[in-house]
Amino acid sequence: MPSNAVALWLAQLVVNATIWEIAAALVGVAAVGYAAWGALDNILDLRALRHDGQESGPLRIAASCLLVANILFTLGWLGYTHVALTAAYLPPRDDMATVALSEIAVMRLLYGVFGLLAQATLRWMRTRLRRLSRAEWEPFFGEAAAWKAKFHASQAELHRQRAEKHEIGQQATADMLRVGLLERILRQHDIVPPPRSLPKENDE
């Protein structure tokens, strides 16, 4: 029966494995579940953002990147758990001392613990950011609003300068037309108009 097979496998695991190997395997199993839960939570975040109409922006980017990270975490932890369970299931080796095997198991355990803590830190950061109030977010958005106002002010100044330049150009064209009309009238009355004087480039 399947239950008997599982019981036999657990019995062999307990007989062959050290406490460090069992701990490393348990950390791996817990990490797989933790990463999968994080990925599911990020999927729910993306659905909520889509429901709110936020198809882009910092929240969307953060949720998407965390989803990819948790999927990769899950795949990595599956590999770690496979190695940890295999090491726990295999019998002791005659060509290696028990102390050496224990040291390897401890290193594997520490690797799993630190990796799980790093992943938990990301989850903790996400939770704290989501719990911030509007007042706590206000400095960030206030700074963004200030830069936006500066950008709009610079754009307004640029448009003003372009409008002034366009107006000066139109005025110069009108003056040239007026001078040409006056010259034509003078020539019609047999009067030679005076030569036009151009402004000097280095006129002080």
Does residue 70 sit in the same domain as residue 25? yes
Q: Which domain holds residue 81?
A: 2-133
| Contact (Cβ atoms closer than 8 angstroms) between residue 25 and residue 81 | yes
The answer to whether residue 127 is domain-embedded is: yes
Distance separating alpha carbons of residues 191 and 118, to the nearest angstrom? 93
Residue 197 has pLDDT above 50, yes or no: yes
| pLDDT above 60 for 204 | no
pLDDT of residue 99: 66
Does 202 reside within a domain?
Answer: no
CA distance linking residue 66 with residue 43, whole number of Å: 10
pLDDT tens string 142-195: 666 666 777 778 888 888 888 888 888 888 887 788 877 877 777 777 777 777
- What pLDDT score does 154 carry? 84
pTM of the model as a whole: 0.55
- Cβ atoms of 93 and 7 closer than 8 Å: no
- Asked if 156 and 125 sit in the same domain, the reply is no
**76 is written with which tokens?**
């990595």
Task: Please indicate, yes or no, if residue 200 is contained in any of the structural domains.
Answer: no
Question: Cα separations (Å) of 47 from 5, 58, 59, 62?
Answer: 42, 15, 12, 13
Last residue of a domain, one of 87, 113, 133: 133
The yes-or-no verdict on residue 78 having pLDDT over 80 is: yes
Same domain, 80 and 161: no
Is 201 a domain residue? Answer: no
Structural domains counted in the chain = 2
Average pLDDT, the chain: 77
Query: Are 106 and 186 part of one and the same domain?
Result: no
Claim to verify: residue 126 and residue 162 sit in the same structural domain: no
Phi–psi pair at 195, nearest 5 degrees: -65, 145
Which of 87, 111, 133 is the last residue before a domain boundary?
133
Alpha-carbon gap, residue 63 to 146, rounded angstroms = 26
Lookup: tokens for 178? 């007026």
What would the pLDDT profile of 87-107 be if each residue is shown by its tens digit?
777 766 665 566 666 777 788
Q: Are residues 22 and 112 in the same domain?
A: yes
Statement to judge: residues 127 and 150 lie in one domain = no
Residue 40 lies in a domain: yes
Same domain, 71 and 10: yes
| Assigned domain for 107 exists | yes
Last residue of a domain, one of 133, 151, 173: 133
Same domain, 160 and 112: no
